[in-house]
Amino acid sequence: MKTIVFIGAGISGLSAATCYQKKFPGDKIIILEKNPVAGGSFVSEQKSGFTFEYGPRGVLKTSHAFFHLLNETNGWHLLKPGKKTSSTRFIWYKNQLNQLGGNPFKMLFAPAMKGVIWSALKERNLKNSCTDEDESLESFFTRRFGSHITKVLLDAFISGVWAGDISKLSVRSAFPSLWEAEKKYGSVIRGLRAGKEESKRKKELELADFPHPETGKSRFYSTEGGIQNFAKHLAERFGDKLKTGGSVVSLLKNEKWEVELSSGEVLLADEVVFSTPASVTASLIEPVDQALAAELQKIDYAPVVSVNLGFASTGTHQQGFGFLIPKIENKPILGIIFNSGTFDGVSPAGGANYTVMIGGACNPDAVKKSEAELISLALESLDSFLGIKEKPVVTGVKLWPAAIPQYNVGHFKHVETITSQTSKHPGLHLLGNWKNGIGVNDCIKSGFNWVKSLN
């Protein structure tokens, strides 16, 4: 019987451990988590009848990893589908909300969509002019689709998902399917169309594995009572194998891996699996392998603050998922999420629930404000963008100093070096959102694939 220690109980660690336990039921599993509760970035709070999300608020149905994990853990009763309107999203451009998704007519005439169809048609016939081994998103999109799509649509999308800087993020690592589409088909649009047919066939197969009626209801999902309940559900299944409220403070390799906790206790393990942020993994791994630690330290993170605001009156209610703002608009926030436009039951009857996202790689100093300043910035933003002047009945602020890893140009090389360096240490495994995608689905999939690769 092997002893395997998982360090970090965010979604990456919880998914990997869930899958590992199923495949190797005879092994002894221990999961170590610094915080008093499992979940990592999954932080939900119930406040005066509002459900506040400070980290992820849900998963898109672009992959079925989340459903798969619910299925594996008998968690279907928790599934919460987003409202129909949650697929209506907006971009703030030219002093107005530009609708993307939902009504196609409204979308076509939005200033943000100007020339988009023409650029997409033109892209099909452009030559494959990619020569470098990696390229920034800005350079790739400008080359393929022109500056409007890049600076308005792409930039807004990237602020929302990556809190990132398009001049630094790598197309090869952040959007491998687009990078490969150009390489293989000479055009992103032609490549995506070809890939779509294939993934449609795959998805139909995947969906057949998930006959649950709720999976057809929406494109966006969370769990009842907030997404942290999903982590809680996964965590509970481990019972006392999961130890919360104690950091791992050092790691040594002698005959076995020696994992020291903040309490002074030392655990001996045959294998260790890290799913902590890259800088934490780096500092713990340094005494074992300095070169590996140095490579992990090269991965940058962007800071984000989530300011949650709950309002009592219906007059403040907005339909849809929310809006993002491209850099060229020069505004002090990344965007606003309309939580009560996305999910039912996240505010008391008639109320409205918003999250204002602040900071990101392009505006890191914004997160240095005091809590009072951040709330006031959020309220000013609700007024100036949406005309909401009412006072909130409840607020909540959370700073994520290292919210999202940035897959900057050359990221693939760091990952290659880290992977080859890790393979020199039998029994050492590195996972986490810095490796195979930042989305919740990506983290789940990464854990599953890692377990699949084990004999």
Ligand X SMILES: Cc1cc2nc3c(=O)[nH]c(=O)nc-3n(C[C@H](O)[C@H](O)[C@H](O)COP(=O)(O)OP(=O)(O)OC[C@H]3O[C@@H](n4cnc5c(N)ncnc54)[C@H](O)[C@@H]3O)c2cc1C
Residue numbers at the binding site for ligand X (CB under 6 A): 7-13, 32-35, 40-41, 55-59, 247-248, 275-277, 280, 304, 306, 400, 403-404, 432-433, 438-440, 443
- The DSSP element (H or E) to which 314 belongs, if any, is none
Cβ nearer to ligand X, comparing 307 with 440: 440
**Beta pairing, strands 301-311 & 79-81:** unpaired
Cβ nearer to ligand X, comparing 310 with 432: 432
Query: At 397, phi and psi to the nearest 5?
Result: -125, 135
Cβ nearer to ligand X, comparing 312 with 334: 334
Question: What is the spatial distance between Cα 48 and Cα 393, in angstroms, rounded to a whole number?
Answer: 8
Q: Is 152 left (phi over 0), alpha (psi -120 to 50) or beta?
A: alpha
Cβ nearer to ligand X, comparing 40 with 310: 40
Question: What is the spatial distance between Cα 335 and Cα 34, in angstroms, rounded to a whole number?
Answer: 31
Question: What is the spatial distance between Cα 386 and Cα 92, in angstroms, rounded to a whole number?
Answer: 11
Q: Specify which residues 395 forms β-bridges with.
A: 309
Cβ nearer to ligand X, comparing 37 with 393: 37
User: In the complex, what is the shortest distance from the CB of residue 15 to ligand X, in angstroms, rounded to a whole number?
Assistant: 8
Cβ nearer to ligand X, comparing 141 with 434: 434
Cβ nearer to ligand X, comparing 14 with 113: 14
Q: At residue 120, what is the residue type?
A: A
Cβ nearer to ligand X, comparing 102 with 322: 322
Kindly report the three-state secondary structure assignment for every residue of 79-130.
EEECCHHHHCEEEEECCEEEEECCCHHHHHCCHHHCCHHHHHHHHCCCCCCC
Cβ neighbours of residue 77 closer than 8 Å, sequence gap 6 or more: 224
User: In the complex, what is the shortest distance from the CB of residue 130 to ligand X, in angstroms, rounded to a whole number?
Assistant: 28
User: In the complex, what is the shortest distance from the CB of residue 212 to ligand X, in angstroms, rounded to a whole number?
Assistant: 20
Q: Cα–Cα distances in Å, from 48 out to 315, 318, 393, 395?
A: 19, 20, 8, 10
User: In the complex, what is the shortest distance from the CB of residue 411 to ligand X, in angstroms, rounded to a whole number?
Assistant: 15
**Which structure tokens are listed for 21?**
């336990």
| 3-state SS class at 252 | strand
User: In the complex, what is the shortest distance from the CB of residue 322 to ligand X, in angstroms, rounded to a whole number?
Assistant: 11
Helical H runs in 24-79? 65-72
CA 191 to chain centre: 25
User: In the complex, what is the shortest distance from the CB of residue 56 to ligand X, in angstroms, rounded to a whole number?
Assistant: 3
Cβ nearer to ligand X, comparing 91 with 189: 91
Cβ nearer to ligand X, comparing 263 with 314: 263
Question: What is the spatial distance between Cα 131 and Cα 368, in angstroms, rounded to a whole number?
Answer: 40
377 in Cβ contact with 369 (< 8 Å): yes
Cβ nearer to ligand X, comparing 124 with 243: 243
From the list 42, 87, 98, the residue with the least C-alpha distance to 342 is 87
User: In the complex, what is the shortest distance from the CB of residue 152 to ligand X, in angstroms, rounded to a whole number?
Assistant: 22
| 3-state SS class at 318 | coil
CB neighbour burial string for 90-112, b if at least 16 within 10 angstroms, e if fewer: bbbbeeebbbbbbeeeebeebeb
Cβ nearer to ligand X, comparing 42 with 145: 42
327 in Cβ contact with 159 (< 8 Å): yes
